[in-house]
């Protein structure tokens, strides 16, 4: 079985396993106690904090451990907003942030604050000017991930940090996906990370608050912060972060070559595919693509049967039947979405076997869904496609089947009540060089208008 979902959770690093087992014997006592066992535990905790701080590039007294990366984000956002409550209650986030950041933003709105969501381009990258234009006199905090978790696009943190610093606004960086590859550059103020993303154990996050940043921890607090530390997990997290950093430069070169191989060859092997994310400024191990006329959930099951564990942002894999907020913000195809995130040690043989299996898996799914075949052109100026009640990717399949039934310049009106159609139909038009005219309210659902150009 080839595990290609390291962006969700990386396999436990061997160094983490060794450190975890060793500290189970040495670090079980309360590090706040002054007796021998407590002092031994305190030494382990202090050493872990020093190692993590060195990897992050911060002072030891600026870094603390949390029960998870999500807890670190929530505590960081809440504490920074509370620390600057006299300035205002305005928060800026990018539209492609991790759900933990976006949920914090929603909580801010429910409590009477305001949120500006900065848009991204088709590669998933923010424009620093977007953050600059969103800054207000009452802006308390800005949030930007260091790299995107779904498409791997690296964000311009340094530039955004400069914009925020000039305005006197702290910047919180969610660095969960990038910390394994190196420290986050720029004058950021708060940083959050998650150990299981870099090969540490689950249940350990880290939160860094720079000296001088106004910060007021929220919720019940005491001298133990989040309570009794999971010391063995913390030690393992710090040890694995140091280990992956030592391997990062060499491993990045190797994984980047493998993901580039996937980026280039998938469109050659499989027709009607859109590779998404920035082609250059991206994490080494992540590559994402979407396939027209494919049910994402079915494709994931097919690949699983072939021995590959992958992830997807397709609406077809979601109980809400809505596409990934990342793909939606980017304005790219969501149906048949596949995210490959290679773990440490992934081999060229694994990738070649995946490339050999993928075309057949996609072809089989398309055949079962009745993917389009060429049809004769008919002399009609407008055609209505009723796709109401049909879910991703059926509305786009129906559109593709009838595009040849109208004359060049003719109009097709697709009726759909599937939220994914709002993203996938324009994306299909761009891929097939047809004109997407826009959308109109319909008696049921929405009418999407497409003009045939060729």
The residues annotated with a catalytic role in the active site are 316
d(CA 5, CA 48): 27
3-state secondary structure of 390: coil
d(CA 182, CA 266): 29
d(CA 89, CA 87): 7
Who contacts 32 (Cβ-Cβ below 8 Å, separation ≥6)? Answer: 38, 42, 223, 224
Phi/psi at 174 (5° precision):
-85, 105
Classify residue 342 as exposed, middle or buried by CB count within 10 Å of its CB (0-12, 13-18, 19+).
buried
Instruction: Name the pairing type of β-strands 139-145 and 90-94.
Output: parallel
d(CA 394, CA 95): 27
* DSSP code at position 244: H
| H or E segment and range at residue 447 | strand 446-451
Contact between 121 and 72 under an 8 Å Cβ cutoff? The reply is no
- Number of continuous H segments (helices) and E segments (strands) in the chain: 12, 16
Write out the two tokens for 119.
Answer: 């848009």
Among candidate residues 95, 155, 146, 5, the one with its CA nearest the CA of residue 327: 95
Instruction: Name the pairing type of β-strands 139-145 and 205-209.
Output: unpaired
Contact between 148 and 175 under an 8 Å Cβ cutoff? The reply is no
| 59 CB neighbour count, 10 Å cutoff | 11
Write out the two tokens for 176.
Answer: 């969960």
Per 3-state DSSP, what percentage of the chain is helix, strand, and coil (rounded to 5)?
40, 20, 40
Contact between 142 and 161 under an 8 Å Cβ cutoff? The reply is no
């Amino acid at each position: 079985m080839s595990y290609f979902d390291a962006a969700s959770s990386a396999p436990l690093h061997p160094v983490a396993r060794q450190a975890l087992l060793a500290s189970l014997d040495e670090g079980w006592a309360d590090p706040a106690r002054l007796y021998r066992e407590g002092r031994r535990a305190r030494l382990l905790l202090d050493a872990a904090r020093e190692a993590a701080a060195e990897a992050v590039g911060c002072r030891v007294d600026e870094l603390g451990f949390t029960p998870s990366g999500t807890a670190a984000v929530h505590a960081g956002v809440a504490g920074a907003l509370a620390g600057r409550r006299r300035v205002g209650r305005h928060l800026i986030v990018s539209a492609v942030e991790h759900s933990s950041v976006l949920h914090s933003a929603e909580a801010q709105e429910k409590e009477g604050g305001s949120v500006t969501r900065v848009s991204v381009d088709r590669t998933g990258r923010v424009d620093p000017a977007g953050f600059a234009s969103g800054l207000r006199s009452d802006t308390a905090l800005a949030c930007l991930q260091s790299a995107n978790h779904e498409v791997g696009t690296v964000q311009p943190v340094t530039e955004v940090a400069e914009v925020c610093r000039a305005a006197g606004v702290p910047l919180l960086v969610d660095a969960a996906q990038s910390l394994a590859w190196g420290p986050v550059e720029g004058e950021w103020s708060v940083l959050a990370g998650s150990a299981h993303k870099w090969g540490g154990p689950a249940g350990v996050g880290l939160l860094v608050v720079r000296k001088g940043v106004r910060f007021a921890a929220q919720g019940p607090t005491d001298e133990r912060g989040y309570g009794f530390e999971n010391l063995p997990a913390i030690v393992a997290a710090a040890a694995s972060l140091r280990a992956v950093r030592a391997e990062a430069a060499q491993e990045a070169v190797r994984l980047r070559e493998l993901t580039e191989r996937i980026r280039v060859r998938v469109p050659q092997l499989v027709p009607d595919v859109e590779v998404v994310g920035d082609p250059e400024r991206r994490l080494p191990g992540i590559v994402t693509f979407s396939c027209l006329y494919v049910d994402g959930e079915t494709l994931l099951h097919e690949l699983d049967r072939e021995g590959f564990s992958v992830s997807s942002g397709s609406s077809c894999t979601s109980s809400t039947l809505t596409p990934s907020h990342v793909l939606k913000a980017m304005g790219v195809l969501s149906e048949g979405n596949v995210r490959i995130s290679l773990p440490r040690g992934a081999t060229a043989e694994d990738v070649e076997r995946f490339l050999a299996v993928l075309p057949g898996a996609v072809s089989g799914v398309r055949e079962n869904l009745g993917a389009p075949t060429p049809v004769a052109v008919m002399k009609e100026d407008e055609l209505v496609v009723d796709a109401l009640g049909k879910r991703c990717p059926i509305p786009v399949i129906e559109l593709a089947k009838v595009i040849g039934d109208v004359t060049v310049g003719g109009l097709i009106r697709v009726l759909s009540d599937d939220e994914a159609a709002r993203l996938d139909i324009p994306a299909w038009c761009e891929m097939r060089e047809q004109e997407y005219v826009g959308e109109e309210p319909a008696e049921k659902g929405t009418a999407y208008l497409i003009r045939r150009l060729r």
